[in-house]
Amino acid sequence: MNAADYQSFADAWESRATIRTRPRRVLENDDKLIYPLSRQPLVLSETFLRECPEQRDFALVQTLYKFINDVVIFETEIVDKTARSIAKNRFAVAFPFACRYDAMTVVVDEDYHALVAMDFMQQTVAMTGITPIDLPDEIELSRAIPAAVALAPEHLRSAVELICVAIAENTVTGDVAAFAKDDTVKQSIKGLMADHLLDEGRHSGFWARLVRIYWHTASEDDRRCIAHILPIFIGHYLTNDIQKSFDFRLIESLKISDAARHALKSEVSGLAFPINRHHPLVANIVRFFRSSSLLDSPCVQDALSDYLV
Ligand SMILES: [Fe+2]
Ligand SMILES: [Fe+2]
């Protein structure tokens, strides 16, 4: 695919974008969970169930706050930044106007997702009276993207940024999908996830197409250089440090004995996924490498051999 073949999705955006079609969602005060148990394994641990099962909802509310905080950082600091520079034609890779227009719809969608997430934060605080513990000021990508870009020569920096954002936009999608299907969770929270997912379906294809267009024009030397950076980016992206320090702060905030606190911390430390082909996000990442055509290149196949089955 080259740039001249690019088809805009502007019509689909007009008729389906959640900012165009969805009323405000209101958090319901019912008995359902505010966050899926499966996404905060701390509350399913033996120690938690024995020592403080009554603090489960507190832990789930705090984990929802962390999720919302991550969404706001991802949307406003990561995706917005790259999409906006494409829209404004400030990107080193030149894209046709139709791409730039679609990039602007991504900016609008992402800032709207951040707004909706902040709305759920304020609704949850109002309903539960629980205020957030200290939330991280960065996400894994806040470190992984600059680390990858720093490894690239000047003329490849924006291409590397584009590929990193495209990877991220193609992995979170599957991650949120599991969330939207969980019937133990409040309807409004599931609706929030389903809305987000609907927009992200459009985005993931958009980023994959931009990467295809770029890759098509890249020289063999440039491809090889980028291929070597990919596994380093993935290593940073999949680390568990930020989640783990959040979980530790959450454990600190529980009303439990010191012995229980100690036991919970060691249980949480054992929960991290390995950074290899068995990590749950890797299947999504590999699918993106196929759909964007990167994996057609032997240099990419070689560089990613640890992640390929
Ligand atoms: Fe989004
Ligand atoms: Fe997105």
pLDDT digits 0-9 by tens, 224-240:
999 999 999 999 999 99
Q: Which ligand places an atom closest to the C-alpha of 112?
A: 1
Neighbours of ion ligand 2 (CB under 5 A): 169, 200, 203
Mean pLDDT, rounded, for 75-95: 95
Please give the angle made by the CA atoms of 228, 147 and 250, to the nearest 5 degrees.
125
Q: How far is the CA of 200 from the centre of ligand 2 (A)?
A: 5
CB 42 within 8 A of CB 254: no
Question: Residue 77, Cα to own-chain centre: how many angstroms?
Answer: 12
Q: How far is the CA of 47 from the centre of ligand 2 (A)?
A: 37
- Dihedral of CA 45/48/51/57: which sign? negative
- What pLDDT score was predicted for residue 173? 67
Query: What is the rounded distance in angstroms from the CA atom of residue 303 to the CA atom of residue 280?
Result: 20
Query: What is the rounded distance in angstroms from the CA atom of residue 160 to the CA atom of residue 150?
Result: 9
Q: Which ligand places an atom closest to the C-alpha of 204?
A: 2
Q: Which domains does the chain have, with CATH numbers?
A: 7-24+33-307 (1.10.620.20)
Q: How far is the CA of 254 from the centre of ligand 2 (A)?
A: 34
Query: What is the rounded distance in angstroms from the CA atom of residue 157 to the CA atom of residue 165?
Result: 12
Query: What is the rounded distance in angstroms from the CA atom of residue 247 to the CA atom of residue 158?
Result: 34
- What pLDDT score was predicted for residue 133? 98
- 293 — alpha (psi -120 to 50), left (phi > 0) or beta? left
What are the tens digits of pLDDT across the range 7-54? Answer: 999 999 999 999 999 999 999 999 999 999 988 999 999 999 999 999
pTM of the model: 0.95
Q: How far is the CA of 241 from the centre of ligand 1 (A)?
A: 23
Q: How far is the CA of 3 from the centre of ligand 2 (A)?
A: 21
Question: Residue 31, Cα to own-chain centre: how many angstroms?
Answer: 28
The total number of residues written for the chain in this structure? 309
- What pLDDT score was predicted for residue 99? 96
